[in-house]
């Protein structure tokens, strides 16, 4: 499956932004989808993940209550709605996919994902 992330940009502290990640190829509903981010000089970190059908989500603690992951299997797209953005959210955001037979499964580790998008830069100015 190929992934194409979009929606990044330059915003101010407290603003909102929605990222999208469109997939092509594969059977999209077979895939757990995740978002990760990598800030300059730091390792890639988990942000959020969503089950195959979208019924369950998990978040990294620092984004809980501010970010929402969702998916539209008909459009083969996963979204990351980001609100109340902070300068520390500045990073390149990556979407990722992992096929699984388990409908309730999510993954938090980058090594568990097989497919990655190219990344989209989010810059939050103070």
pLDDT, one tens digit per residue, over 4-45 is 999 999 999 999 999 999 999 989 999 999 999 999 999 999
The two structure tokens encoding residue 44:
């890639």
CA distances from 124 to 39, 62, 83, 109 (A): 12, 15, 11, 25
The two structure tokens encoding residue 10:
């330059």
- How many Å apart are CA 97 and CA 18, to the nearest integer? 19
Mean pLDDT, the chain, integer: 97
Residue 95: the pLDDT is 98
The stretch 52-63 carries a mean pLDDT of: 97
């Amino acid at each position: 499956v190929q992934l194409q992330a979009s929606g990044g940009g330059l915003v101010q502290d407290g603003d909102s932004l929605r990222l999208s990640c469109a997939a092509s190829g594969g059977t999209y509903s077979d895939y757990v989808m995740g978002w990760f981010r990598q800030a300059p000089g730091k390792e890639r970190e988990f942000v959020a993940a969503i089950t195959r059908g979208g019924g369950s989500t998990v978040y990294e603690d620092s984004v809980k209550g501010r970010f929402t992951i969702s998916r539209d299997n008909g459009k083969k797209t996963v979204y990351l709605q980001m609100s109340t953005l902070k300068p520390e959210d500045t990073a390149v955001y990556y979407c990722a996919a992992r096929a699984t037979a388990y409908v309730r499964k999510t993954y938090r580790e980058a090594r568990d994902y097989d497919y990655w998008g190219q990344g989209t830069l989010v810059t939050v100015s103070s």
